[in-house]
Structure 1
Amino acid sequence: MFEKKIFIQNGEENKRLDKFIALKLNISRNKVQQLIQNNKIYLFNKIVKDNNHITKVNDIYYINMPTQEHNCSITPNINIPITVLYEDQDIIIINKEPGITVHPGAGTKDDTLVNGLIAHYGSTLSYIGKASRPGIVHRLDKDTSGLMVIARNEHSYYFLSDLLLKKQIKKEYLAVVWGIPNPKCNIIKNHIDTKSNNKQMMTVTHSQNKGKLAITEYNTIQTFANIATLVKCRIYTGRTHQIRVHMSYIGNSIIGDQKYGKNDSKIAKYAQQSTIINTLKRQALHAHKLGFIHPTTNTYIEFNSDIPNDIQILLNELAQLAKNSITIR
Structure 2
Amino acid sequence: MHELTFEGASERIDKWLTMKFPYSRSFFHHILERGGVLLNGKPAKKSAKLKTGDEISIDNLERYLSPVILEEAPLIEIPILRETSDYLIINKPKGVLSHPNSIWDVGEPSVVGFLYHHYKQLPSIGSFIRAGLLHRLDKDTDGLMIIAKTERGLQHFKTLFKEKSESETLEQKDQVPLKKWYRATCEISEGGNKFLKQIEGKLPFIISEEVKAKVPNTVPKLGITQIEKIEKKPDGKLQIFLQIFTGRTHQIRYHLSSHGLPIYGDYLYGREAEIPMQLTAYQLEFKDLDGEMMRISI
TM-score above 0.5, yes or no? yes
- Which aligned pairs between 1:290-329 and structure 2 lie closer than 5 A? 290-295=284-289, 297-305=290-298
What is the Cα deviation at residue 194 of structure 1?
4.4
Q: Contact (CA 8 Å) 1:101, 1:108: kept in 2 or not?
A: no
Aligned partner (choices 123, 126, 134) of residue 129 of structure 1: 126
Distance (Å, rounded) in 2 between the aligned partners of 1:139 and 1:83: 16
Give yes or no for the alignment of 1:108 onto 2:105.
yes
On the 8 A contact 1:79/1:116 being kept in 2, the answer is yes
Higher Cα Rg, which structure: 2
Q: Partner of 2:274: helix, strand, or coil?
A: helix
**Deviation by residue 1:248-274 (Cα, 9 ceiling, x = unmatched):** 011100011000007xxxxxxxxxxxx
Give 1:67-216 correspondences, 5 Å limit. Answer: 71-75=67-71, 77=73, 79-106=75-102, 108-111=105-108, 112-123=110-121, 125-167=122-164, 168=176, 169-179=178-188, 181-182=196-197, 183-184=199-200, 185=203, 186-194=205-213, 199=216, 211-216=220-225
- 1:230 and 2:239 matched: yes
Tell me the alpha carbon deviations over residues 176-234 of structure 1, each in whole angstroms, 9 at most, x when there is no partner: 11125342432100122345xx627x6xxxxxxx6222000013331136831111010
In the aligned structure 2, how far is the partner of 1:146 from the partner of 1:117? Answer: 16
What secondary structure does 1:166 align onto?
helix
5+ residue gaps in structure 1?
1-69, 203-209, 263-276, 306-329
In structure 2, runs of 5+ residues without a counterpart are 1-65, 165-175
Q: Which runs of 4+ in 1 moved over 3 A?
A: none
CA separation of 1:166 and 1:222: change in aligned 2, threshold 3 A: same
CA distance 1:289–1:240, shift in 2 (3 Å): same
- Seen in structure 2, the aligned counterparts of structure 1 residues 148 and 232 have a Cα distance that, compared at 3 Å, is same
* 1:76–1:119 Cα contact (<8 Å) kept: no
CA distance in 1: counterparts of 2:210 and 2:90, whole angstroms:
30
User: Does the CA-based 8 Å contact 2:72-2:106 persist in structure 1?
Assistant: no
Q: Give the secondary-structure state (helix, strand or coil) at the position aligned to 1:104.
A: coil
Shift of the 103–226 alpha-carbon distance from structure 1 to 2, 3 Å rule, reads: closer
Question: SS of 1:216's equivalent?
Answer: strand
| Counterparts of 2:223 and 2:291, CA distance in 1 | 28
TM-score, normalising length: structure 2: 0.65
Q: State, as a whole percentage, how many aligned pairs show the same letter.
A: 33
Query: What's the counterpart of residue 278 of structure 2?
Result: 284
Q: Secondary structure at the match of 1:286?
A: strand
Q: What amino acid does structure 2 have at the position aligned with 1:279?
A: E
Matched positions, count? 209
1:146 and 1:248 map into 2 onto residues whose CA distance is: 21
The Cα RMSD (Å) is 2.2
How does 1:259-278 map onto structure 2 within 5 Å? 259-261=268-270, 278=273
Alignment partners' CA distance in 2, 1:226 and 1:85 = 32
